[in-house]
Chains A and B, each alone.
Chain A
């Protein structure tokens, strides 16, 4: 099993550009998440999904969009990139209750200049 995979690993965007961060998991997990982590900080939830076709906003959704057409894939879309979106982005999936263990991808380091 590959677990959770993310592409790309690094990306530099200009202000106003758009991009999609890809995330896939092969563990058949229903729950998937997108987090951002700023330097020296913990994780902030952007969006999450409880299954194919169902998504919901997290703590910091502004400037982002998601879709979940399959169980495996959960892409994150950045529209009109801003310097405040410079961060490391982590995708995660988790096992069901009661275990609730989250498995993380390796992250995407995004810089907006």
Chain B
């Protein structure tokens, strides 16, 4: 069974603080995606990282793919209440007909 473990499961911080969410696996992925899900809605894709060591920035969000393509991190700088949501990582595994392997998610609350 291929697993993607996300940590922490839950994070509640004050507006303006920085945070990092991790996504780890023992499997190698051809790419890894991060989604954000707001209450009552479906997940929405934030970014896809493909190359080992790749770093992508989306405003205050920085995504990194590990060199060995087994792990990824999401760093948020100066978090804002609008960042509140469930963050899900999902790995694309070539041996699984390109199906997504989903992490359990990190529930993030940013308090004003």
Contacts and interface: CB of A to CB of B under 8 A. Distances in A.
Interface of B: 6, 31, 33, 35, 40-45, 48, 50, 88, 90, 92, 97-100, 102-105, 107
A41 B104 contact: yes
A100 B103 contact: no
Contacts of B44: 104
B45 A102 contact: yes
A100 B42 contact: no
B45 A107 contact: no
Classify chain A's interface size. 20 to 34
Contacts of B88: 42-43
4 interchain residue pairs of minimum CB distance: A104-B42, A42-B104, A42-B105, A43-B102
A45 interface: yes
B95 to A, nearest CB: 13
A78 B48 CA distance: 33
A45 B40 contact: no
A2 interface: no
15 contacts: A4-B42, A40-B107, A42-B102, A45-B102, A97-B98, A100-B33, A100-B92, A101-B33, A101-B45, A101-B48, A102-B35, A104-B41, A104-B42, A104-B44, A107-B42
Interface in A44-68: 44-45, 48, 50
Contacts of A104: 41-44
